[in-house]
């Protein structure tokens, strides 16, 4: 391959001068390559590190926060959840199938690297409008890649989200989340803590795929991006399945002192990060690295991002046993180097030294940029937009349009391609509740998992929008009966060097931090994906929240479906006439503007505590968060899932009727309850000081909504189900 300049590797002139100062000489080609990948945004977080430090990361439930491959939270009984979300955006834009597949593979490795058995996968996806043929091609490829890789691994894909918006045209987002279960005394960390320890590479052989993948992920997409297809890794899920079993066997036999996934920047990153934590050095011989291609240079070996590979620091004398175990599983396990005490990352090719770089220069020495944000022009204009003169779309017509919007419609076309019941632990199936729920076999416990972010709200108001992403994730967990524990995030933004984009980042992270602190859901892991831009502009800021919660008794889980005729329908949180940033404005009026509804964190916390108590005490028949589409859509979804109608009464005397029906104001849910349990519900509501209204009852085969005695919506549940269920499938035929 032809040699690249340091600029083509993503380094600036100033950064190159810094490297000269560190090295005291001109670096060679390999050394420049090592700096370029380690100083990329993807590995070094050079534009985001100061902001990330503001997240709350501590709590009594936190065993391991940011800084390892994944976060770890205690769920009692000597067990812990290990989870993380990360992006594979740019690779998926160029090669959707392999980009998405290897995104799944990479996040799964982050989990079993910690000694945890992966138990579930989720995702968060963003695309341009579905009426575009290229978007449909991207969606098909991404979904197939996620499904095929996860299905082959035998890990259920149990939840996720997908949104369609023109801002993602040409720059889709593919965020993958994985959750694992581990005994707290079998937790493994990625650290080299002993001089003289050996370094082993295990798993698949190394090829030329993925070279400079970290750099590619840290630049804007352009017409030239298609030429970087070789930067996209190629995955082998069957190899990864073997790797999971082999690595977990090592941990169970206590043969491992440290373990690290070979992800972004390959051997360079994994070795440097492992050594850096204790201020140690390493010596590696590239000739010992098993290869699947001939003639590979040290540069190619050290920067390759070939998949299904791990770095292992064995316990003293365990090398032979590790080799035996990996031979049993049909995988390579080879000693390629040793840990040293001189703090130097030394790369050899046989007896020849081909590169020497201070470890700390690659990691802690990465430049950090504290930039100045600038409020974008659109912000005030959108916030001050006057909606009072907006014509009211007939409510039934508006609801029909919303149910058929791809952002609201059933995602069955997507999740039906995933095996979400493998392992037989899935207790709430995709689409049936506000979050996925899984049993933990051998206990009464369950775990609930969710991904959330309404990027339109974040665009219109980064602080409030990001705060709402955290609140909605936690509320969704509460709606299935799970107490939220902690969150992971994937921060997808445009070019941070632009002041308006940096302003979005600053405010979004601030909003997330405040909400996470208030709801006792610390940030334990995450990922940053910047430079998500094309010539047409930046994506909507999309700080995706992945959150995990625990149910003390999985049998007490709750879903969204209405159950029995005569059950009362309860609105918790009250009516709110606020349409800013709503799907209604976008779909029915072609507007993405307005003041975003604000969050009252005290009210949000009270609501969640109330819901958890009501579900624990077996008072609720169903519970469903009011989010995209507002109250009317939430009612329709509960009716569709229960295959039973409802009659609801509102009063818009002092409000816009479309505001009451379609507002997406936070901290609200609809629930159903047996009449015999109403008194208990009221007592709990009073204790938690939550606003409550009885708005209707379950029954019949129609969704009926009345306003001041007049019917404004009358729709059969079958008609609603058809519109909601077939929308995405219609586009994808």
pLDDT higher than 90, residue 2: no
Dihedral in degrees, nearest 10, Cα atoms 469, 472, 478, 483: 10
Rounded to whole angstroms, how far apart are CA atoms 183 and 11? 42
Q: Which of 42, 624, 688, 697 is catalytic?
A: 42
Q: Which of 88, 212, 688, 697 is catalytic?
A: 88
3-class SS letters over 222-253: CHHHHHHHHHCCCCCHHHHHHHHHHHHHHHHC
Average pLDDT score over residue span 596-606: 97
Instruction: Note the pLDDT tens digit of each residue in 330-344.
Output: 999 999 999 999 999
Q: Nearest CA to 144 among 211, 225, 235?
A: 235
Q: How many CA atoms lie within 13 A of 72 on its CB side?
A: 26
Average pLDDT score over residue span 214-237: 57
pLDDT higher than 70, residue 316: yes
Q: What are the residues facing 199 on neighbouring strands?
A: 337
Q: Provide φ and ψ at 413, rounded to 5°.
A: -55, -30
pLDDT higher than 60, residue 142: yes
| N-terminal to C-terminal alpha carbon distance within the chain | 42
Rounded to whole angstroms, how far apart are CA atoms 292 and 471? 47
Put simply, whether the predicted model's pTM sits higher than 0.85 gets the answer: yes
In this prediction, residue 705 has a pLDDT band, given cuts at 50, 70 and 90, of very high
Residue 213 confidence (pLDDT) = 55
Q: Is 42 a catalytic residue?
A: yes
Contacts 24+ apart (CB under 8 A), 346-354: 346/281, 346/282, 346/283, 346/284, 347/30, 347/284, 347/286, 347/298, 347/302, 348/283, 348/284, 348/285, 348/286, 348/287, 349/285, 349/286, 349/287, 349/298, 350/285, 350/287, 354/28, 354/30, 354/286, 354/298
Q: Helices 395-403 & 630-642, crossing angle to 10 degrees?
A: 60
Number of Cβ within 10 Å of residue 62's Cβ equals 19
In this prediction, residue 228 has a pLDDT band, given cuts at 50, 70 and 90, of very low
pLDDT higher than 50, residue 57: yes
Show Cβ contacts of residue 315 under 8 Å, excluding neighbours closer than 6 positions. 254, 255, 256, 257
Q: Provide φ and ψ at 451, rounded to 5°.
A: -125, 140
More confident call, 191 vs 108: 108
Q: Is 88 a catalytic residue?
A: yes
Number of Cβ within 10 Å of residue 378's Cβ equals 12
Average pLDDT score over residue span 15-19: 96
Under 8 Å between Cβ of 34 and 155: no
Under 8 Å between Cβ of 496 and 48: yes
Number of Cβ within 10 Å of residue 497's Cβ equals 12
Instruction: Note the pLDDT tens digit of each residue in 481-516.
Output: 999 999 999 999 999 999 999 999 999 999 999 999
Q: Nearest CA to 159 among 508, 481, 477, 539?
A: 477
Distances 141 to 48, 144, 371, 420 between C-alpha atoms, Å = 30, 5, 37, 19
SS3 499: helix
**Dihedral of CA 626/627/631/632: which sign?**
negative
Rounded to whole angstroms, how far apart are CA atoms 43 and 36? 10
Rounded to whole angstroms, how far apart are CA atoms 90 and 88? 6
Query: Environment class of residue 543 by beta-carbon count within 10 Å: exposed (0-12), middle (13-18) or buried (19+)?
Result: buried
For the sheet with 309-314, list strands across it: 256-261, 309-314, 198-203, 332-340, 281-285, 344-349, 352-358
Q: Which of 107-116, 203-212, 313-322, 642-651 has the lowest mean pLDDT?
A: 203-212
Rounded to whole angstroms, how far apart are CA atoms 610 and 474? 13
Residue 209 confidence (pLDDT) = 80
Rounded to whole angstroms, how far apart are CA atoms 51 and 690? 34
- Output the six-digit token pair for 404: 């058929």
pLDDT higher than 90, residue 263: no
Strand 702-707 vs strand 71-76: parallel, antiparallel, or unpaired?
Answer: unpaired
Q: What are the residues facing 525 on neighbouring strands?
A: 488
In this prediction, residue 224 has a pLDDT band, given cuts at 50, 70 and 90, of low
Instruction: Note the pLDDT tens digit of each residue in 396-416.
Output: 999 999 999 999 999 999 999
pLDDT higher than 70, residue 1: no
Average pLDDT score over residue span 601-617: 98
In this prediction, residue 473 has a pLDDT band, given cuts at 50, 70 and 90, of very high
Rounded to whole angstroms, how far apart are CA atoms 286 and 347? 7
Q: Nearest CA to 506 among 540, 543, 531, 473?
A: 543
Mean pLDDT of the chain: 94
**H/E element, 354:** strand 352-358
Rounded to whole angstroms, how far apart are CA atoms 23 and 18? 9
Residue 218 confidence (pLDDT) = 46
Rounded to whole angstroms, how far apart are CA atoms 651 and 646? 17
Average pLDDT score over residue span 682-693: 98
Residue 214 confidence (pLDDT) = 54
């Amino acid at each position: 391959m032809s040699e690249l300049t340091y600029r083509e590797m993503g380094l600036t002139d100033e950064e190159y001068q810094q490297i000269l100062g560190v090295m005291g000489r001109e670096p060679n080609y390999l050394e420049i390559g090592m700096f370029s990948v380690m100083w990329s945004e993807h590995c070094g977080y050079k534009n985001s590190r100061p902001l990330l430090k503001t997240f709350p990361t501590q709590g009594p439930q936190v065993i391991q926060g940011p800084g390892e491959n994944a976060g770890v939270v205690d769920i009692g009984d000597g067990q812990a959840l290990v989870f993380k979300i990360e992006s594979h955006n740019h690779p998926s834009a160029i090669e959707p199938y392999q980009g998405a597949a290897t995104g799944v593979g990479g996040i799964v490795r982050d989990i079993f690297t910690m000694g945890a058995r992966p138990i579930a996968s989720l995702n968060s996806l963003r695309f341009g409008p579905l009426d575009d043929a290229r978007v449909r091609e991207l969606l098909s490829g991404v979904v197939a890649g996620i499904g095929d890789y996860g299905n082959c691994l035998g890990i259920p894909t149990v939840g996720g989200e997908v949104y369609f918006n023109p801002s993602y045209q040409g720059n889709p987002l593919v965020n993958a989340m994985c959750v694992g279960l581990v005994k707290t005394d079998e937790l493994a960390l990625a650290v080299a803590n002993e001089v003289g320890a050996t370094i082993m590479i295990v798993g698949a052989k190394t090829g030329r795929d993925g070279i400079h993948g970290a750099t590619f992920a840290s630049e804007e997409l352009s017409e030239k991006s298609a030429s970087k297809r070789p930067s996209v890794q190629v995955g082998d899920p069957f190899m990864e399945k073997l790797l999971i079993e082999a690595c977990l066997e090592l941990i169970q036999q206590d043969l491992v002192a440290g373990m690290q996934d070979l992800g972004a920047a390959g051997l360079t990153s994994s070795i440097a990060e492992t050594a850096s934590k204790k201020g140690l050095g390493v010596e590696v011989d590239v000739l010992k690295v098993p290869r699947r291609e001939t003639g590979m240079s040290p540069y190619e070996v050290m920067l390759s991002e070939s998949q299904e590979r791990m770095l292992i620091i064995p316990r003293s004398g365990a090398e032979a046993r590790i080799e035996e175990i990996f031979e049993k599983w049909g995988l390579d396990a080879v000693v390629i180097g040793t840990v040293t005490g001189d703090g130097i990352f030394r790369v050899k090719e046989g007896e020849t030294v081909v590169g020497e770089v201070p470890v700390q220069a690659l990691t802690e020495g990465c430049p950090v940029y504290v930039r100045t944000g600038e409020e974008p022009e659109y912000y005030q204009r959108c916030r001050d937009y006057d909606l009072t003169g907006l014509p009211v779309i007939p409510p039934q017509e508006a609801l029909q349009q919303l149910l058929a919007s791809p952002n609201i419609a059933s995602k069955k076309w997507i999740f039906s391609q995933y095996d979400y019941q493998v392992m037989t632990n899935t207790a709430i199936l995709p689409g049936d509740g506000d979050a996925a729920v899984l049993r933990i076999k051998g206990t009464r416990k369950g775990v609930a998992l969710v991904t959330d972010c309404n990027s339109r709200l974040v665009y219109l108001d980064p602080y409030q929008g990001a705060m709402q992403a955290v609140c909605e994730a936690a509320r969704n967990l509460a709606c299935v009966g799970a107490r939220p524990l902690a969150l992971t995030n994937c921060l997808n933004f445009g070019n941070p060097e632009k002041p308006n984009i940096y302003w979005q980042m600053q405010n979004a992270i601030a909003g997330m931090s405040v909400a996470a602190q208030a709801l006792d859901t610390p940030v334990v892991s995450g990922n940053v994906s910047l430079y998500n831009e094309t010539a047409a502009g930046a994506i909507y800021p999309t700080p995706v929240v992945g959150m995990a919660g625990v149910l003390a008794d999985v049998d007490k889980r709750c879903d969204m479906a209405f159950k029995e005729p005569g059950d009362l329908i309860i609105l918790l949180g009250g009516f709110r006439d606020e349409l800013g940033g709503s799907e209604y404005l976008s779909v029915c009026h072609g507007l993405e503007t307005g003041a975003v509804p604000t969050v009252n964190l005290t009210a949000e916390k009270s609501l969640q505590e109330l819901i958890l108590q009501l579900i624990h005490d077996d008072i609720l028949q169903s519970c469903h968060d009011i989010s995209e589409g507002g109250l009317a859509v939430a009612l329709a979804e509960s009716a569709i899932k229960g295959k039973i109608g409802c009659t609801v009464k509102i009063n818009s005397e002092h409000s816009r009727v479309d505001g009451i029906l379609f507002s997406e104001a936070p901290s609200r849910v609809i629930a159903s309850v047996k009449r015999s349990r109403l008194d208990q519900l009221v007592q709990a509501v009073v204790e938690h000081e939550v606003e409550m209204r009885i708005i209707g009852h379950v029954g019949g085969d129609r969704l009926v909504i009345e306003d001041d005695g007049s019917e404004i919506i009358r729709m059969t549940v079958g008609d609603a189900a058809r519109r909601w269920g077939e929308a995405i499938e219609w586009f994808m035929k």
